Amino acid sequence: MIALIGLGGNLGDVRGRLRDAIDALERVPGVHVTARSRIYRTPPWGHLDQPDFINAAIAVSTSLDAHALLDALLAVERSLGRVRDGARWGPRTIDLDLLAFGDAVIHDDRLDVPHPRIPERAFVLLPLADIAPDVVLPGMGRVADLRAAIDHGACQVLE
């Protein structure tokens, strides 16, 4: 199964933490990173009075089911110092989001796949379009078309 994962953060050495997160995911049995996006600087979303975010996306091939992959993402976040304190859209050291899991549609108390706010978020669509422009997200459309339809003028490619 191919899964798409968004990575981001805005506190501390985010670029280093993104690299560490990708390396940690490569060590998870049943997970293999197959593509990496460029790295972007993006304005905050939700709470605007915080530092800009650094964002990227990866594609992984996995033999894990979606919930097991989510558990692996959360474990990597914790290993890199992320404390989920309930503050939504606030500053964070690292954030790993399961954006899509093949063509699965999952909505339960732990997981929404594809991530329901992908079409609203340039910080997700820019890196996602780097690695999966032709992927069609169920109920949303093709990644490249979603990217073309959103304002991303304040975002900047860093590497």
- Active-site annotation, residues: 82, 92, 95, 97
Residues 94 and 17: beta-carbon distance below 8 Å: yes
CB-based contacts of 110, cutoff 8 Å, min separation 6 = 67, 70
> Which tokens hold the place of 49?
């009075």
CA 122 – CA 111 distance, rounded (Å): 21
Neighbours of 128 (CB within 10 A): 30
Q: Match 């985010």 to its residue by tokens.
A: 14
